[in-house]
């Protein structure tokens, strides 16, 4: 009866092979099936499952008309065969294992055709198939086979290395930017600026570090119809785009800092000093090299008589080569009667001034104008320091340069205290000759320029107020 079943099976098998026009060379022969029967594998269950598997494997020969129903049948029969082979196998088990191995290889070689008719991932979830049941993972096998076979994928290891480097850079840059914006209290727009790259980086981290994220990103690439052999490059591209976006924010930090500085200047002009200080501090936090922000903050501290912090900010700006900071700090030393320190500081500023003047042609008109006003303050302060040291002969050359700049209408209106140089020079001339007409002319210039500032609503310091009083006395 059993032999008759095998003979019928052989006949059916040959008819099936003829129907699909598949060569029987290398196919399962009757004697191989008979061996299974001969060595007592129970025919009623496991041998029958094996024969069903043999039949189904033949159907797996290349044929575009393969149907979903037949595919499911093949996989379920392979399940039954595994269950049948899990118990005792009689002698010559090698023959059975070899036979199954041959059939499995045929199944794998036709995996790409088979998975066209079925969504194996869905069945794996529903039937809870373990990865050991590899035939339920033929889609994964086919994908890996495609990956390994494509020549461009030979460089995937290099792309992954570069991606790790870029991703590490992204995280480092994100941490730096987040620290800058959050610690500076940059408000709503600062939070928005840092939120977008943060979200993108977190999504990227999920796609790199979690299996769910990786599958999700792979599915996205598939929906975008990006060929599999470009997937690694696409992932690298997304990392590079995030890096470019965050780098753009990084390189624009000076511009953002300047915007806060300008807002601070406007608030300081409006005497909203607390808010102005906040803006200056934000500007400095975002760009510590914003020397103008340090300088403006120093002037604010000086205005509210926070002298320790003012001096600290002036020193930072001066060390960065900011000429206005040199001048203000030197004037501070002069008021503290530290004239030697002031002269030393101003001589350093002179070298910086000479360097800037050597590149005068490369400066814009606005920067040239600013340089002249800085030059005036520098030479005026040098003349004042020497005058305080009672070295009038050394003071005069410096004051002459300052006066020549102050007399020029092009520059005079941009100089904060143009009358100061005339006031100092008038005192020197008066020391030399009490009745000097030249001294009187300089007292007149001193008086006129200070009064014009007062008329314009500007404020003067205590020393200028004293000079104004003295000028009025000399001109009576």
- pLDDT on residue 192: 63
- Render pLDDT for 380-421 as a digit per residue (tens, 0 to 9): 999 999 999 999 999 999 999 999 999 999 999 899 899 999
- Render pLDDT for 48-72 as a digit per residue (tens, 0 to 9): 455 455 445 444 444 444 457 777 7
Q: What confidence tier does 247 reach under pLDDT thresholds 50, 70, 90?
A: confident
Q: What confidence tier does 243 reach under pLDDT thresholds 50, 70, 90?
A: confident
- pLDDT on residue 207: 63
Is residue 305 scored above 60 in pLDDT?
yes
Q: How many CB atoms lie within 10 A of CB 158?
A: 11
More confident position, 338 or 82: 338
- Render pLDDT for 306-327 as a digit per residue (tens, 0 to 9): 989 999 999 999 999 899 999 9
Residue with tokens 């199944």: 107
- pLDDT on residue 1: 37
Is residue 373 scored above 90 in pLDDT?
yes
Is residue 372 scored above 80 in pLDDT?
yes
Q: 322-411, which class in CATH?
A: mainly alpha
Domain boundaries, the chain: 2-149, 151-251, 322-411, 417-476
Residue with tokens 């953002």: 256
pTM of the model: 0.62
Mean pLDDT (the chain) is 77
Angle at 303 between CA 298 and CA 304, to 5 degrees: 100
- Render pLDDT for 188-223 as a digit per residue (tens, 0 to 9): 556 666 666 666 666 666 666 666 766 766 777 777
Report, as an integer, the average pLDDT of 415-438. 90
Angle at 49 between CA 46 and CA 53, to 5 degrees: 140
Q: Which of 138, 140, 127 is CA-nearest to residue 71?
A: 138
For residue 290, the number of C-alpha atoms closer than 13 Å in the C-beta half-sphere is 26
Residue with tokens 């003349």: 383
* DSSP structure string for 301-344: HHHTT-HHHHHHHHHHHHHTT-HHHHHHHHHHHHHTT-HHHHHH
- pLDDT on residue 88: 52
- Render pLDDT for 154-173 as a digit per residue (tens, 0 to 9): 767 787 788 878 878 877 78
* Helix (H) and strand (E) counts in the chain: 24, 0
């Amino acid at each position: 009866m059993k032999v008759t079943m095998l003979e019928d099976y052989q006949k059916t098998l040959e008819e099936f092979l003829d129907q699909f026009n598949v060569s029987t060379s290398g196919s399962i022969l009757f004697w191989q099936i008979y061996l299974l029967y001969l060595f007592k594998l129970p025919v009623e269950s496991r041998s029958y499952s094996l024969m069903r598997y043999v039949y189904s494997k033949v159907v797996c020969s290349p044929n575009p008309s393969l149907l979903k129903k037949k595919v499911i049948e093949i996989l379920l029969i392979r399940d039954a065969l595994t269950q049948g082979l899990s118990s005792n196998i009689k002698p010559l088990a090698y023959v059975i294992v070899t036979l199954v191995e041959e059939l499995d290889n045929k199944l794998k070689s036709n995996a790409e055709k088979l998975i066209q008719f079925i969504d194996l991932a869905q069945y794996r979830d529903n039937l809870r198939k373990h990865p050991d049941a590899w035939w339920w993972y033929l889609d994964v096998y086919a994908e890996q086979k495609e990956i390994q076979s494509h020549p461009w994928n030979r460089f995937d290891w290099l792309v992954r290395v570069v991606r790790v480097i870029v991703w590490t850079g992204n995280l480092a840059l994100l941490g730096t930017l987040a620290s800058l914006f959050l610690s500076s209290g940059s408000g709503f727009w600062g939070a928005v600026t840092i939120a977008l790259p943060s979200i993108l980086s977190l999504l990227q981290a999920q796609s790199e570090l979690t299996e769910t994220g990786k599958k999700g990103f792979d599915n996205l690439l598939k929906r975008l119809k990006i060929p599999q052999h470009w997937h690694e490059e696409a992932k690298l591209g997304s990392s590079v785009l995030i890096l470019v976006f965050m780098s753009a924010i990084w390189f624009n930090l000076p511009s953002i800092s300047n915007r806060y500085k300008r807002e601070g200047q406007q608030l300081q002009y409006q005497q909203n000093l607390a808010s102005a200080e906040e803006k200056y501090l934000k500007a400095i936090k975002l760009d510590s090299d914003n020397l103008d922000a340090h300088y403006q903050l120093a002037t604010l501290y000086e205005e509210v008589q926070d002298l320790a912090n003012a001096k600290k900010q002036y020193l930072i700006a001066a060390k960065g080569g900011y000429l206005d900071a040199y001048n203000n700090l030197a004037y501070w030393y002069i008021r503290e009667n530290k004239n030697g320190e002031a002269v030393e500081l101003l001589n350093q500023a002179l070298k910086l001034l000479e360097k800037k003047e050597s590149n005068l042609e490369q400066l814009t008109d606005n920067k040239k104008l600013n340089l002249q006003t800085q030059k005036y303050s520098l030479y005026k302060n040098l003349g004042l320091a020497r005058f305080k040291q009672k070295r009038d002969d050394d003071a005069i050359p410096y004051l002459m340069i300052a006066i020549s700049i102050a007399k020029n209408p092009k520059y005079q209106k941009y100089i904060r205290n143009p009358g100061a140089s005339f006031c100092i020079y008038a005192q020197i001339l008066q020391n030399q000759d009490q009745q000097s007409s030249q001294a009187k002319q300089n007292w007149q210039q001193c008086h006129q320029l200070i009064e014009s500032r007062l008329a314009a609503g500007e404020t003067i310091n205590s020393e200028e107020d004293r000079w104004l009083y003295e000028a009025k006395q000399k001109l009576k």
